[in-house]
Every structure is written in C-alpha cells, then in structure tokens.
Amino acid sequence: MTGRVLDGKVALVTGASRGTGVDIARHLARAGARVAVHYRTARDAAGEVVATIRADGGEAAAFGGDVARSDDVRRLVADVAARLGPIAVLVNNAGPFDDTPFTTLPEAGWDYVMAANLKAVYLAAQLVVPDMRRLGWGRIVSVGATSGFVRSHGAYGLAKAALLHLTEALALELAPAITVNAVVPSQIASPRTDTLADYKARAIAATPLGRLVTQDEIARMVALLCSPAFDFVTGRAIVMDGGRTLPRFPKLELRSD
C-alpha cells in the first residue's frame, strides 16, 4: 500500500509489542495512522515499537492491558480515545495459542483462551463502534488462524472458528459505514518457527506454495483491508495459507498391466 490513505486516523492494534503485531503497527503508521501500540506485559518492547515508528516519521503511543480482562479492554479503548482521539481502525491481533485437549483443559484455561481470542473482539468492537459511527467511517480487522478450520487445536481452534462467524455478523450489523474483515494465516515464518526445524519442514511440505507466510505479508494485507482499495469488501476472511487448507485427494497411480 502506498500513500497516507489513513492520514490522521487513529488505529488501535492489540498485541502489537511483538511478532506480526509489530509489522501491522508499522504499516498502519506508514499509511498515516496514529497508532496505539497495545501490549500485555512487554512494556519495553512496545516502547521500542513506538520509537521505531516515530523515527520513521509516524505517530504512536503505547498502551497496556490484558485483553482477556473486560475491565482492561474498556480502559484500553477509553485511554486511547482520550490520548489520541476517536478510534477509526481496530485491529484485533492479540490471541494466545493453547491446543490443550478439551478433556484435560482446566476451566480457567478455557475461560482465558475464549476471553482473549473471542470475547475481547466482541467487546472492543462494541466500544469503538459509537465513535466510528460518529466519524461515518470505520475499519475492524481481526487476525484469525487456520486453526479455526481444523478440529485438533482445542479451545483456540474453536475460538478462531467463532471469530469468523463474529466477523460476518458484525459486517452485516455495522454496514454500510464500517467494514469488518479477517485475515487468516497458517503457520507464520518467524524466529520461533525457525527453532522448530522438523515442524517447519512439515508445514512447508504441506503447503502448495512451498513456504510459510511472513509477518510482513500478513501486515500488508491488514493495511490493505483498511485502505480504499478494499472499500467494497466486508464480512470476508482472507486466507493466507499458501493453499494448505485446499481440499486434496491423494494422487492415484493407475497401473497399465
């Protein structure tokens, strides 16, 4: 995306102190947004993201809170609006992974995964929508996961599947001024993935495009969904998995004898 298409608009990015969230914050800042860099505990890392954005000529500030806690979500949205202005762009990127089997998952673990990955999205949307409606414009983008397409990733997969349903429901409810979409990546190329050589190799082998999606690619797609190029797209999940989840049958070798 080129140009300052989000010039002056306030964007809140949850989970922006590390990983893909860092790249999302940077891309939105380059598009002219005033970025609220959210962190849970990594205050220093969030400060570094803010410093990088400012050094690049952008505007940003760091805000703390645990999105699994409703009071923290309310405080986060209120603090961002008070300090930077009404939120026009909401990117729900925070979402802890936990694939503990349902039969052994503690109730507290269930509550945390569902709160951070799903409830926080609903609540944040509810809180930012009034200002978006007053502005006459808004963009909500959630970062999902292909875990929502499988049945072996426990409560995390369930939450990510429900996130897509919520995305579609919000898109219908908030049209026409506000669009709501999701970006759904598979395994992401990252320093952490690099430490899991066997896992990474198997993931690449299962991906038709022969590699893993990068954090920058995901961030660019999020920024595009917030740009005029996607003004007529809402309620959609942009799957970035290199074709991995496409249905396939094993190749059959027909014998001629």
In a domain, 72, yes or no: yes
d(C-alpha 122, C-alpha 120), whole Å: 6
Catalytic residues: 156
Whether 250 has a pLDDT exceeding 90, the answer reads no
What pLDDT is recorded for position 257?
Answer: 63
Q: Residue 206 — φ and ψ, nearest 5°?
A: -85, 0
pLDDT at 256: 67
| Cα 134 to Cα 90: distance, rounded to the nearest angstrom | 15
What pLDDT, on a 0 to 100 scale, did the predictor assign at position 254? Answer: 66
255 pLDDT higher than 80 = no
Is 246 part of any domain?
no
Distance CA 157, CA 148 (A): 4
pLDDT band at 2 (very low <50, low <70, confident <90, very high): low
Which tokens is 196 given?
Answer: 């899991």
CA dihedral 196, 197, 198, 203 (to 10 degrees): 80
The verdict on residue 38 lying in a domain is: yes
User: Within a domain: residue 75?
Assistant: yes
Is 249 within a domain? no
Task: Indicate the average pLDDT of the chain.
Answer: 95
Token pair 């049958």 is found at 249
Q: What is the pLDDT of residues 79-132, one digit of tens each?
A: 999 999 999 999 999 999 999 999 999 999 999 999 999 999 999 999 999 999
Cis peptide before 176 (omega within 30 of 0): yes
Per-residue pLDDT tens for 28-70?
A: 999 999 999 999 999 999 999 999 999 999 999 999 999 999 9
Give the count of domains, the chain.
1
In this structure, what CATH number is given to the domain that contains residue 45? Answer: 3.40.50.720
Antiparallel, parallel or unpaired: β 188-189 and 87-92: unpaired
Q: Tens digits of per-residue pLDDT, 155-202? A: 999 999 999 999 999 999 999 999 999 999 998 988 888 888 888 999
The answer to whether residue 185 sits within a structural domain is: yes
Domain span at 89 = 10-239
Pairing of strands 34-39, 59-64: parallel
| Total Cβ atoms within 10 A of residue 152 | 8
pLDDT tens-digit readout, 202-239: 999 999 999 999 999 999 999 999 999 999 999 999 99
